[in-house]
Amino acid sequence: MEKIKQTLRDSKTARWIALILISSTMFFAYFFVDVVAPLKTLLEQAPYFWSNEVFGMLGGSEFFLNVFAGFLILSGIILDKMGIRFTLRLSGILMLIGGTIKWYALSPGFVGTGIETFLNSFIEGIPASAKLAFFGFAIFGVGVEMAGITVSKTIVKWFKGKELALAMGLEMALARLGVFAVFQLSPIFAKSGGVSNSLFFGVLFLLVGFITFFIYTFMDKALDKQTGEGTNVDPEDEFRISDLGKIITNPGFLAIAGLCVLFYSAIFPFQKFATDMLASKLSIDAAIASKYVSFFPIGAMILTPFIGAFLDFRGKGATMMMYGAILLTVSHLIFALVPEAAFTPFVAIATIVILGVAFSLVPASMWPSLPKIVEDRYLGSAYGLIFYIQNIGLLLVPMLIGYALSASNPGVSEQIAAGAIVKYNYTVPELIFAGFGVLAVILSLVLRRVDKIKGYGLDIPNKLPQA
């Protein structure tokens, strides 16, 4: 009898160590993504004087290069052509460079420099600090989205046919822990050194994340030596640019991509404004509101691994996506329609946790479903395309919310800039988020129908039966 060759992938210890390494980087990346989200009120004051529209533009700037320069599609192609190790290192470097630029833009050292003078010479109405922060965040955005698609493909590489959904769920749970940490820690950092101090710690975290990515690449190289992946590839298995056409004409891919952009458009932009929304609706200090918002990822952190395990052994991925979209809609309708008299801290935290549960159900089901719909040889490009479509929403929605907030609250921004204590009414922005949720519910039903017709097996368990 010929012995079955064992590889690192067959070692539970090795593959879980690999998961911890790449997930740690995403924890630090997610911390940096929202590092200024709890600090909106500080950015409205001296020396920054940012408006709602400018704050919304900052959220959107993360995705500018990915969308308009097509970097996310390029990232997927780079991943399929150059491999996981090269792409992980490149993404880590880009996150560090972009994060450092954003930190400098909001630091005291930027004030009065020639760069500030130059940036003030064009595009009136937007502070120079914001313009440079947009630029740095856009570079960071290329790196973090490149990291996201690479991590997804890496988990498939180590866990396909094993605990795939559980592994993806645990990775997402650790990333959500980064969201919890930033809403807890960023206001504390800002108290002892302002906005720039929070960003300084964010950049330090990115440096640690780059190191964990770098350490992982040695494990990846060892696995490739054992399996022969990346060498002597059959021409039929090589990625070709023409494969992009196969991806975008795949009805299952289109349904998941549409659900993805709608769902995430009601989550990540919400995080940017959530602290100010709760502070306004509950009439509380922004630091307390930030702690309430930190409960948002709790539901996702706790439930995502369990949902992943359920999907591995029992399935029901398409059904989970539908339930998640329903909870998303309900959460935003509560924020929008419950009157202030009935909107207590308990209601606020409970709704935040419900939203966190929705944030667990959809991504935990969505990302392990993609390998069932597209071939492995262009899986990286498929993840790149779906992130690209998602980024279009994440670019435009924060700006839409910033505009809607100002338009539905005329004169409030000016009063705050003048030092008055006033609050915003977030009914219109929350109804917009709820509208995305309704559309996501409809598209989740479409996805279930497509799955039945095409037989993708989205409701079938991920874990292969043992021989």
Interhelix angle 427-454/268-282, rounded to 10 degrees, is 150
The answer, yes or no, to whether residue 235 has pLDDT greater than 50, is no
The pLDDT of residue 243: 67
Tens-digit pLDDT profile for residues 195-227: 999 999 999 999 999 999 999 999 999 999 988
Residue 4's Cβ-side half-sphere holds a number of Cα atoms within 13 Å equal to 4
Per-residue pLDDT band at 230 (split at 50, 70, 90): low
The phi-psi region of residue 339 (left if phi > 0; otherwise alpha if psi is between -120 and 50; otherwise beta) is: beta
Taking the model in full, what pTM does it have?
Answer: 0.76
Cβ-contact 297, 177 below 8 angstroms? yes
In one-letter notation, the amino acid at residue 176 is R
Measured between alpha carbons, how far is 334 from 304 in angstroms, rounded to an integer? Answer: 23
**Distances, alpha carbon 218 to alpha carbons 24, 151, 212, 215, in Å:** 16, 15, 11, 6
Coil, helix or strand at residue 416: helix
DSSP state of 123: S
CATH number assigned to the domain covering 13-227+240-454:
1.20.1250.20
Residue with the two structure tokens 């196969």: 246
DSSP per-residue letters across 197-220? HHHHHHHHHHHHHHHHHHHHHHHH
The pLDDT of residue 202: 96
**Mean pLDDT along residues 391-409:** 90
Cβ count within 10 A of residue 22: 27
Comparing CA positions, the residue from 380, 356, 370 lying closest to residue 147 is 380
Average the pLDDT over each of 180-194, 246-260, 305-319, 437-451 and give the range with the smallest value. Answer: 305-319
Beta-carbon contacts of 83 under 8 Å, excluding residues fewer than 6 positions away, are: 230
Residue 92, φ and ψ in degrees, nearest 5? -65, -40
Cα–chain center distance at 77: 20
Cis peptide before 47 (omega within 30 of 0): yes
Residue with the two structure tokens 């504390």: 188
Average the pLDDT over each of 73-82, 270-279, 455-464 and give the range with the smallest value. Answer: 455-464
Cβ-contact 98, 141 below 8 angstroms? yes
Average the pLDDT over each of 65-74, 185-194, 217-226, 291-300 and give the range with the smallest value. Answer: 291-300
Measured between alpha carbons, how far is 38 from 22 in angstroms, rounded to an integer? Answer: 26
Average pLDDT, rounded, for the chain: 86
Tens-digit pLDDT profile for residues 24-55: 999 999 999 989 988 988 888 888 888 888 98
Tens-digit pLDDT profile for residues 416-465: 767 777 788 999 999 999 999 999 999 999 999 998 898 888 888 866 55
Cβ count within 10 A of residue 69: 12
